[in-house]
């Protein structure tokens, strides 16, 4: 995307030095989320084409998980942006849920050049991985994922949607400003700014900094008891979106914590998660991502 239409002219694809490159996805759930809850949802792959693929981006191949119906197509595309824990079993399951709805769903490993987050503890993720993943790189990798989907012949990128969780929820807001071809998006409890997401040379802007530029329909889904995303900040984000006359909306679930959709964790809230999933489907249908 050229600078004339990109509200992030500093977010450009520029490869850096690499000391690590993850070449394949791990199996199971991330180390940092163990033990896994008994209420974990498992979506079987029956009737789907599902598994790992590799896609080219910035001169390397990064692993991704892809799921789509085994027959038919071309299918609308759903970018699934990982949690802070990387592309582990929960994110793969979300891809299969979308595939059951008729989507070509794909989740690229956006930490692939930095580390294998699925094998790291939470301290390592917070201090040694997340701060070192450039927003520029993430935007480029998501663009490359769309290009990969288009080249597959199984997808219709004119019906492009995206959803992300936690770390990925922040990325959804940024990508909505970055890619004007995105039809609609849903951000689950994505950090908006403040102390929970300090800016840096690698992360020059937060969603709250660019809310007034977002014209893509984004549905934000947040918990009213999320310590890292207080309601005053959510209201500030709403104000920024209004400046752009954005079709974006934000829903707050009262007395609900961060991670309420993560069925494998104690933070899971079944009623809020089911309502959020229903709202997500309506949102994408209303905005042409079907």
Helices (runs of H) and strands (runs of E) counted in the chain: 7, 8
Tokens found for residue 136: 């520029």
Please check whether residue 256 is in contact with residue 272, taking contact to mean a CB–CB distance below 8 angstroms. Answer: yes
Which residues are marked as active site? 166, 226, 258
Cα distance between residue 128 and residue 124, in whole Å: 5
For residue 202, count other CB atoms closer than 10 A to its CB.
Answer: 14
In order, the DSSP letters of 161-208 are EEEEETHHHHHHHHHHHH-TT--EEEEES---SGGGS---SSS---HH
Residue with tokens 């104000």: 239
For residue 109, count other CB atoms closer than 10 A to its CB.
Answer: 27
Tokens found for residue 187: 């951000």
Residue among 205, 204, 203, 211 nearest 187 (CA): 211
């Amino acid at each position: 995307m050229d600078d004339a239409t990109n509200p992030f002219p500093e977010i450009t694809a520029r490869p850096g030095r690499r000391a690590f490159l993850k070449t394949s996805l791990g199996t199971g759930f991330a180390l940092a989320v163990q033990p896994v809850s008994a209420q974990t949802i498992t979506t079987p792959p029956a009737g789907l084409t599902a598994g790992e693929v590799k896609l080219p981006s910035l001169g390397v191949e990064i692993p991704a998980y892809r799921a789509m119906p085994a027959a038919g197509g071309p299918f609308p595309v759903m970018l699934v942006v990982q949690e802070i824990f990387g592309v582990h079993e929960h994110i793969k399951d979300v891809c299969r849920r979308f595939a059951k709805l008729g989507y070509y769903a794909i989740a690229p490993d956006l930490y692939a050049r930095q580390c294998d987050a699925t094998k790291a503890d939470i301290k390592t993720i917070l201090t040694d991985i997340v701060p070192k993943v450039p927003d520029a790189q993430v935007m480029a990798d998501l663009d490359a994922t769309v290009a990969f989907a288009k080249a597959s012949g199984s997808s219709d990128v004119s019906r492009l949607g995206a959803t992300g969780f936690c770390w990925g929820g922040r990325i959804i807001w940024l990508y909505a400003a970055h890619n004007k071809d995105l039809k609609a998006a849903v951000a689950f409890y994505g950090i908006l700014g403040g102390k929970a997401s300090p800016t840096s040379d690698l992360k020059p802007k937060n969603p709250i900094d660019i809310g007034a530029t977002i014209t893509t329909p984004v549905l934000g889904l947040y918990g009213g008891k999320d310590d890292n995303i207080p309601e005053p900040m959510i209201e500030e984000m709403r104000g920024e979106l209004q400046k752009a006359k954005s079709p974006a909306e934000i829903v707050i679930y009262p007395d609900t914590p961060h991670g309420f959709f993560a069925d494998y964790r104690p933070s899971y809230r079944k009623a809020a998660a089911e309502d959020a999933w229903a709202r997500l489907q309506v949102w994408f249908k209303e905005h042409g991502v079907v």
